[in-house]
Every structure is written in C-alpha cells, then in structure tokens.
C-alpha cells in the first residue's frame, strides 16, 4: 500500500511541476507587424507559421 501511495504522490508532484514550468515559458520571439493587407496586420509570426506549411 505504501508503494502505491509513494508512486501516486510522485506522479502528482511531476504533473504539478510540469504545469508550473509551462506557465513560466516566454514566447520564442515577439511578433512584429510586417504588412497590412485589407486592414489585417500580418506579423512575423504569421509569416513563419505559414512558411512551415510550404
């Protein structure tokens, strides 16, 4: 019984720490507006995302 409680506690600790680490992660780069098309700003992030599909 003690083995199962230890395993469950360890799993809970790992899950809680992974959630807190992902909340602190900053974006890789700030999006910069490159173009405005029909009143819609196109950012560097949009361009990089669309280039990944090609």
What are the residue ranges spanned by the domains of the chain? 2-51
Per-position b or e across 1-40, b if 16+ CB within 10 A of its CB: eeeeeeeeeeeeeeeeeeeeeeeeeeeeeeeeeeeeeeee
Query: What pLDDT does residue 10 have?
Result: 74
- pLDDT tens digit string along 4-34? 777 777 777 776 665 554 555 555 566 788 8
Strands, E, within 1-54: which ranges? Answer: 33-37, 40-43
Query: What pLDDT does residue 43 have?
Result: 87
**What is the reported pTM?**
0.41
């Amino acid at each position: 019984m003690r083995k199962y409680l230890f395993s469950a506690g360890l799993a809970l600790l790992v899950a809680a720490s992974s959630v807190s680490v992902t909340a602190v992660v900053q974006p890789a780069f700030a999006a910069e507006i490159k173009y405005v098309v029909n009143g819609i700003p196109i950012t560097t992030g949009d361009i990089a995302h669309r280039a990944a599909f090609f």
